[in-house]
């Protein structure tokens, strides 16, 4: 199979780190900043950042509706931290003008693991990985309710890595580690489609 072409939403956050990992595992990547950047993508990664700001930028850039349509049409998507919030069906403490794509059957609470100074790292057991994954949590969202999602990793019995169909989301930042295994799991699922 030819290399997958994976877009990385480049409005805010650690998009370059996601691109580096994806390139290292053999994918071609493209920064997504406007609707035309979505053409020809097999998948899209939504990085962390500030979810209300990202929501506004998605609307002002004209990307919100085209991304929503691409996801509805079957494009795979992986959201990390703020990206998880953008993919959630409900945001407990979101602003009235905050938008989300609603593709994952989860409710999230923004910054629930604490402020920037409360950031932490921990090892997680992940379905599909033989060894624990060292995860970085920075102002991370908490999944407070979930329905038909598959839980791939938990922290203190709370879901922190989930998938539902072609949509994946992590509360943590897998792009901030030299470990590419979470990205590989996502890419392998995209390749199977």
Of the residues 18, 27, 99, 175, only one is catalytic, namely: 175
Contacts of 178 (CB under 8 A, 6+ apart): none
Of the residues 27, 42, 81, 99, only one is catalytic, namely: 81
173 included as an active-site residue:
yes
In what helix (H) or strand (E) does residue 53 lie, and over which residues does it extend?
helix 51-60
Cα radius of gyration rounded to whole Å, the chain: 15
175 included as an active-site residue:
yes
Q: Tell me which residue of 158, 72, 147, 142 sits closest to 105, measured CA to CA.
A: 147
Residues facing 150 on adjacent strands: 163
92 included as an active-site residue:
no
Please identify every residue annotated as catalytic.
Answer: 81, 173, 175
């Amino acid at each position: 199979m030819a290399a997958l072409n994976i877009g990385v939403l480049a409005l805010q956050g650690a998009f370059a780190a996601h691109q580096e990992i994806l390139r290292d595992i053999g994918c071609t990547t493209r920064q997504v900043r406007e609707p035309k950047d979505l053409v020809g993508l097999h998948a899209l990664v939504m990085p962390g950042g500030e979810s209300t700001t990202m929501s506004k930028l998605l609307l002002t850039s004209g990307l919100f509706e085209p991304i929503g349509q691409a996801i509805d049409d079957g494009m795979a998507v992986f959201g990390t931290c703020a990206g998880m919030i953008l993919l959630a069906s409900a945001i407990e403490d979101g602003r009235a003008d905050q938008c989300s794509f609603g593709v994952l059957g989860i409710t999230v609470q923004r910054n629930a693991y604490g402020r920037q100074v409360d950031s932490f790292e921990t090892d997680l057991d992940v379905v599909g990985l033989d060894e624990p994954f060292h995860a970085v949590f920075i102002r991370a969202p908490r999944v407070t309710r979930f329905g038909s999602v598959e839980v791939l990793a938990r922290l203190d019995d709370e879901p922190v890595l989930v998938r539902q169909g072609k949509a994946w989301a992590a509360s943590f930042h897998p792009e901030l580690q030299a470990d590419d295994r979470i990205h590989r799991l996502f890419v392998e699922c995209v390749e199977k489609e």
